[in-house]
Amino acid sequence: MSEASPAKAYALHLGVIVLLFVLSFLLPDYYHGLLARIMVLAVFAMGYNMLFGYVGLLSLGHAMFFGAGLYGAGLAIIQLGWSVPAAFAAGLACGAALALIIGLLALRTTGVAFMIVTMMFAQVFYLAILYFAAWTGGDQGQVVPQPARVLTFGATSLDLTNPTMRYMTALGLFSLVLLITLAVVRSSYGRVLVAIRENEERTRMLGYDTFSNKLAAVVVSGTICAASGAAYALLFGYVGSSFASVQYSILPLLWVLLGGAATTLGPLIGTLFMYYVIDLTSGYTSAYLLIVGIALILLVLFFPKGILGTIRQRWLGWLP
Amino acid sequence: MTDKNGFFDLSKSGFTRRTALKGLAAGAGLAVAPGFVRYAQAQSSAPIKIGFQSHRTGIGAAYGRWYEKTTAAAIKAINAAGGINGRQVEVIIEDDGTDPGRGAEVVGKFATQHKTDIVFGTLFSHVVIGSAPAAGEAKMPYFVVSEGHHVASTKLNRYVFQPGITDVKSQIQSMAPWIAANAGKKVTQIFPDFAFGYDHRDYLPPALKAQGAEVIAQIAIPPTESSFTKYFPQIPAETEVIYHVMVGPAVLTFVKELGEFYGSNRPQLFGFIDSLEAVDINSPGLEFLDGSHFWEGSPRYAQADDTEAQKAYRAAVGIDDNGAAVGDPKDVSTAAHMFGCWETLYVVKKAMEDAGYKGPEDRAKLVEATEALKEFAEGPEHPQGAKTFNGKIHQCFGIQNISKVEGGKLKVVHKTKIEDGLYEAEGDYTTQAL
């Protein structure tokens, strides 16, 4: 990562945000709705990237953080009748608290053990959702009622079920997280994370408390993923256990690998790519997952660092 | 960013992307029109488009395949008879992957890309519940063939209907009188430890109690379990009936191990055919089920007293007397459920005709016309049997079949009455705004 071009980097990111804003007015209805969903899930991927891309910790359990946000926000409305902002805050708090606990425990391990421990915790989380079906709705899940998904500020109300409002809310969240990610990775803290990824022993020798830094990264990562989950519940109105299943731990890994680990825009590119490949190919064959698999193999062969990662390596060294 | 009371007050102002664009265009002279051109709505002679949300992949694929066959047969029959309101019907299929997230996207795709008139489909409850918000927000009538109680619970929304298949609460309730009178009074339930099992766990005990019988033990088996022997000692010795609703690939092991546990001296067995849909009843390991009883929505095997309508339906869908695909005896159908696709499409036809449906602008009329339906007579359009429809809870009620495994076939020994499955409405969709 070159440090020479902060202006270029910020201009690129702001350009992407402006492009997404403009696209809201240009896209046909279906792709407009799909892009709103993709932006929310790209936030999930950005949260995952924070830990995987920049710290080098491969988690197979991030569905639990997404799920914590999803259920934290969804159940706050369904069971407690909370308002949208309070429910979103509840989702964030659930994700942050869970990430802190999981971080404290799982960071005692590294490498393959970290993968397995995070996967097991996520499985516990998933089975707990099924076990407490009376509250969570179990495997069937629950609907967040449409009338409750309205944000009210005095006389002003924002209906999150309105496609335009949903898109703009998703874009707002995406933009905020993108800029936070960019700021974090360009900060001295971000450099410490990369140093840990490259050589943890040496970083510790230089006087950094690597455990605390990694724990903070787990909490930031988990909170961002929870923000995505909470937004998903509020914008799309469904809270279900499949979003906490192992599939949703693998998906952000794939999105990040595809787009480029340790690139700020890679998660968006990867999520977009996967969504569109599935959407287009499923119209032609029921074996679309085979095509997705082949596409993934080809990408790994020809873009081993992901799409943006390879572009950065070959052409645009300044990409953050 | 802008005036809160103006720009952001979307719920009151009817703000859309297009009005925003108009503002932008007027203010800045921008001309970004291409994405805003509305596609022409369905013309009077154009086909009625039905979006079919199908389980083509994922855990529901066996159901999805037979739902597609039944749907194709029904559409062929409807079109051959002149279509709906004089228009042919076209079905557009999208795979929901038996996944609620994808299911919601597919509903959105039907509404905004294919611009279908309605959405129709699918079985698995979590996909229906996950898709319902998307249907409600798009104001897209969504007719499901799911048998879950979620529609009748009135926790979804006014655009979701289940008019072609009864819900599981009604089915379970209908079984209780026969079980109490013919199988035994002391019942032990064995069910999978997730939602499908919980319906049976929650609805059977009160239904049996009302018939003077009781559930004496409930054994929930985790969905991850692959061997069941350790659970069988929990079955009380005084059990007269084992009520089992295990589903998935493990059901063969479950039956085999239950057989090994009891040998020839077993209590009565009663199950839901959901366990064995698309599975040959003569598969190795299932011998132990001989003489036991099952709920069936519509009978898998041709019966001696089948009506002409039932015979015509089976011929149209392409299933033989054993309920397998004509020409492929190993391709066993999901007969107990898939009739719901056929019947639902005829309900859609009736409602569209009643509403004088012309295009998407008449969707609200279609919802009201569907809610106004009361009864469906047994016949070619409803070969499974007569039904009543409760427009307040968007759910139909009908007869159920109890079949006995005899000589490797399922023989219907009892048909319940519609009244056996009726229950108090839990809400009223018609009070919701359209």
Query: B7 CB near a chain A CB, below 8 Å?
Result: no
Residue whose entry in the numeric block shows the structure tokens 């008879």:
B81
The predicted structure's pLDDT at residue A157: 85
Quickly name the fold that domain B48-166+338-397 has. Rossmann fold (3.40.50)
Q: Give percent of chain A with pLDDT exceeding 90.
A: 76
Backbone angles phi, psi at B343, to 5 degrees: -70, -35
Q: Is domain B169-296+405-409 given the CATH code 3.40.50.2300 in the classification?
A: yes
Q: What is the CA radius of gyration of chain A?
A: 19
Q: Which amino acid is at B169?
A: K
Segments in chain B below pLDDT 70: 1-44
Per-residue pLDDT reduced to its tens digit, A221-250:
999 999 999 999 999 999 999 999 999 999
In B138-237, where do the E strands start and end?
A: 142-144, 160-161, 186-192, 214-221
Contact present, A33 and A175 (Cβ < 8 Å): no
Tell whether B27 is within 8 A of chain A (Cβ): no
Looking at residue B392, its pLDDT comes to 97
What is the mean pLDDT of the segment spanning A23-42? Answer: 94
Q: CB of A266 within 8 A of CB of A260?
A: yes
Work out the average pLDDT over A151-156.
Answer: 83
In chain A, the residue whose alpha carbon lies closest to the alpha carbon of B20 is: A25
Residues forming beta bridges with residue B406, ordered by sequence position: B409
Tell me if domain B48-166+338-397 and domain B169-296+405-409 are identical in fold. yes
Place of tokens 């799982």: A106
CA–CA min distance A3, chain B (Å):
32
Neighbours of B286 (CB within 10 A): 20
Q: CB within 8 A of A195, min separation 6: which ones?
A: A202, A203, A206, A208
Map residue B328 onto helix, strand or coil.
Answer: strand
Segment 77-106 of chain B within 8 Å of chain A by CB: 94-95, 97, 99-101, 104-105
CA A155 remoteness from chain centre? 33
CA atoms within 13 A on the CB side of B126: 24
Lowest-pLDDT choice from A12-16, A104-108, B53-57, B196-200:
B196-200
Nearest residue on chain A to B54, alpha-carbon basis: A286
pLDDT digits (tens, 9 = 90+) for B144-198: 999 889 999 999 999 999 999 999 999 999 999 999 999 999 999 999 887 778 8
Which residues does B385 contact at the CB level (< 8 Å), separation at least 6? B378, B398, B399, B415
- What pLDDT score was predicted for residue B194? 79
In one-letter notation, the amino acid at residue B405 is V
| Inter-chain CB proximity A242 and B194 less than 8 Å | no
Number of H helices and number of E strands within chain A? Answer: 14, 4
What's at B23, amino acid-wise?
Answer: G
The secondary structure of A186-237 as a DSSP string is HSHHHHHHHHHHH-HHHHHHTT--HHHHHHHHHHHHHHHHHHHHHHHHHHH-
Question: pLDDT tens digits for B34-47?
Answer: 433 343 444 567 99
Contact A151, A158 (CB under 8 A): yes
Q: Which amino acid is at B299?
A: P
- pLDDT value at position B109? 94
Q: How many CB atoms lie within 10 A of CB B17?
A: 21
Per-domain residue ranges of chain B: 1-36, 48-166+338-397, 169-296+405-409
Mutate which of B57, B127, B129 to test chain A, going by most A C-beta atoms within 10 A? B129
Contact call for A157 and B112, based on CB within 8 A: no
Q: Which residues are A265's β-sheet partners?
A: none
Q: How far apart are the first and last CA of chain A?
A: 6
How many Cβ atoms sit within 10 Å of the Cβ of residue B326?
13
CB contact under 8 A, A146 and B108: no
pLDDT of the residue at A279? 86
pLDDT digits (tens, 9 = 90+) for B62-113: 889 999 999 999 999 999 999 999 999 999 999 999 999 999 999 999 999 9
B282 in Cβ contact with B323 (< 8 Å): no
Identify all chain B residues contacting A130, using CB atoms and an 8 Å cutoff: 193-194, 223
Domain ranges across chain A = 17-245
Q: How far apart are CA A65 and CA A73, in angstroms?
A: 12
Sign of CA dihedral B26, B32, B35, B39: positive
Question: What's the confidence (pLDDT) of residue B10?
Answer: 41
Angle CA A278–A283–A287, to nearest 5: 65
Q: What is the pLDDT of residue B5?
A: 41
Nearest Cα to Cα of residue B104 among B85, B84, B121, B92: B121
Q: What is the mean pLDDT of residues A292-299?
A: 86
Distance from CA of B311 to the nearest CA of A (A): 32
A110 to chain B nearest CA, in Å?
A: 28
User: Which positions in chain A touch B97 (Cβ < 8 Å)?
Assistant: 282
Nearest to A141 by CA among A239, A279, A260, A234: A239
pTM of the shown model: 0.87
Report residue A217's pLDDT band, with 50, 70 and 90 as the boundaries. Answer: very high
CB pairs under 8 A between A and B: 138
pLDDT for A198: 94
Nearest to B110 by CA among B95, B94, B96: B94
Two tokens, residue A272 = 């977009």
pLDDT of A189 > 90? The answer is yes
Q: Give the closest of A143, A156, A238 to B5, CB-based.
A: A156
Is the Cβ–Cβ distance between A30 and B109 less than 8 Å? yes
Return d(Cα B307, Cα B319) in angstroms, integer. Answer: 15
Q: Hey, what are B257's tokens?
A: 């191990």
pLDDT at res. B41? 44
Please provide the size of chain A in residues. Answer: 320
DSSP B382: B
Taking alpha carbons only, the member of A154, A151, A182 closest to residue A169 is A151
Among partner residues B4, B130, B134, which is closest to A156 by beta-carbon distance?
B4
pLDDT per residue as tens digits for the range A115-145: 999 999 999 999 999 889 889 988 889 999 9
Shortest distance between the Cα of B131 and any Cα of chain A, in A, equals 8
Cross-chain CB nearest to A238 (options B5, B94, B133): B133
Give the Å distances, CA to CA, from A300 to A43, A280, A320: 23, 21, 21
